[in-house]
């Protein structure tokens, strides 16, 4: 997936290089499949070299090494840059966000001074906002677990759930675990978090439901780089919506549950407002929907009154918040 994203990100530059050095005409395999040429060239120019590539493709690139290097320099001059990466307008200009562990011994702002630390997020207290393209992968704070790289949209569900320290909390669809880590920070490492897919325990009071979804909020960031603007079929959305409703209704069936938060990284009403409204209509004797984060301006979609509960929900978007599209 990372290779695909890199190819999409640098596609225009790679095509310029290919045109400059006539790489396509150098091998019949590349003639038949230009996408293959893009992938191999991307690994060579922007990646970690050609280790792992078939020897045939490696030989083609190595035989054209001088022409490729010359093409790279011409493209740099054309774009007036010294690094090809600077010739690309980033598809994602979101700031770097750090979720801070509550037991961090040293103030992160001090340790991040060399990273041009900007400010504490205005909505979530333990979230730091750093400049776009800040690379923290080698930071000691990240390596020792003091901070976690996380999009703000992914922090909102746990922030809204806001469990009391000492509570028993379920993260119903926990992988890969970022929201679980955030919940642990909110609990000050007290209480119990059960992170799983299915459980029968009955003393749970808070449940965060972030089920499998179409991921359209994530893939929408790459739509401008692809020809596919409608990757989620109606049939798939119908199946996902049905599955999500079952998961949410199950969460609401726990006898001692006080609060349930439902979230997705989808832009589709069918997976979001519709799921909430359909499930709530079945449990309205026991539960009501709360208007979360009233000061958040981007509310859920009401679709001209079709989903009146949308006003109680929130959405995030790259254009308005520089965050992932999410619900």
Active-site annotation, residues: 265
Is position 174 annotated in a ligand binding site? yes
Is position 176 annotated in a ligand binding site? yes
Rounded Cα gap, residues 135 and 30, in angstroms: 34
Is position 7 annotated in a ligand binding site? no
Is position 197 annotated in a ligand binding site? yes
Tokens of 98: 């750090």
CA atoms within 13 A on the CB side of 82: 0
Give CA angle at 151 (149, 152), nearest 5°.
120
Is position 87 annotated in a ligand binding site? no
Is position 31 annotated in a ligand binding site? no
Tokens of 284: 């309205």
Is position 249 annotated in a ligand binding site? no
Burial (CB count within 10 angstroms: exposed 0-12, middle 13-18, buried 19+), residue 21: buried
266 neighbors 313 (Cβ within 8 angstroms) = no
Is position 234 annotated in a ligand binding site? no
Is position 178 annotated in a ligand binding site? yes
Handedness of CA 60, 64, 69, 72 (dihedral sign): negative
What are the binding residues? 173-179, 197, 210
What are the binding residues for S-adenosyl-L-methionine? 173-179, 197, 210
């Amino acid at each position: 997936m990372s290779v695909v994203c890199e190819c999409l990100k640098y596609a225009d530059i790679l095509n310029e290089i290919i045109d400059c050095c006539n790489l396509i005409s150098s091998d019949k395999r590349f003639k038949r499949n230009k996408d293959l040429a893009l992938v191999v060239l991307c690994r060579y120019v922007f990646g970690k070299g050609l280790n792992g590539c078939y020897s045939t493709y490696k030989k083609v690139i190595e035989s054209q090494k001088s022409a490729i290097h010359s093409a790279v320099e011409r493209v740099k001059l054309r774009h007036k840059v010294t690094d090809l990466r600077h010739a690309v307008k980033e598809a994602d200009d979101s700031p770097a966000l750090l979720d801070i562990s509550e037991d961090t011994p040293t103030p992160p702002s001090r340790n991040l001074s060399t990273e041009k630390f900007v400010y504490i997020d205005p909505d979530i207290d333990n979230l730091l906002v750093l400049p776009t393209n800040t690379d923290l992968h080698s930071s000691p704070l990240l390596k020792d677990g003091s901070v976690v790289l996380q999009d703000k949209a992914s922090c909102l569900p746990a922030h809204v759930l806001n469990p009391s320290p000492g509570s028993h909390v379920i993260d119903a669809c926990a992988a890969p675990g970022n929201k679980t880590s955030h919940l642990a920070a909110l609990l000050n490492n007290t209480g119990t978090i059960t992170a799983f897919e299915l459980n029968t325990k009955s003393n749970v009071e808070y449940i965060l439901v972030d089920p499998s979804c179409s991921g359209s909020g994530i893939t929408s960031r790459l739509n401008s780089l692809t020809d596919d603007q409608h990757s989620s079929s109606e049939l798939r959305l119908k199946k996902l919506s049905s599955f999500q409703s079952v998961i949410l209704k199950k969460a609401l069936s726990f006898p001692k549950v006080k609060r349930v938060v439902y979230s997705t990284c989808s832009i589709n009403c069918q997976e979001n407002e519709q799921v909430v409204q359909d499930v709530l209509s079945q449990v309205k004797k026991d539960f009501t929907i709360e208007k979360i984060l009233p000061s958040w301006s981007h509310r859920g979609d009401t679709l001209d009154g079709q989903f009146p509960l949308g006003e109680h929900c929130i959405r995030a978007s790259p254009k308005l918040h520089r965050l992932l599209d999410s619900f």
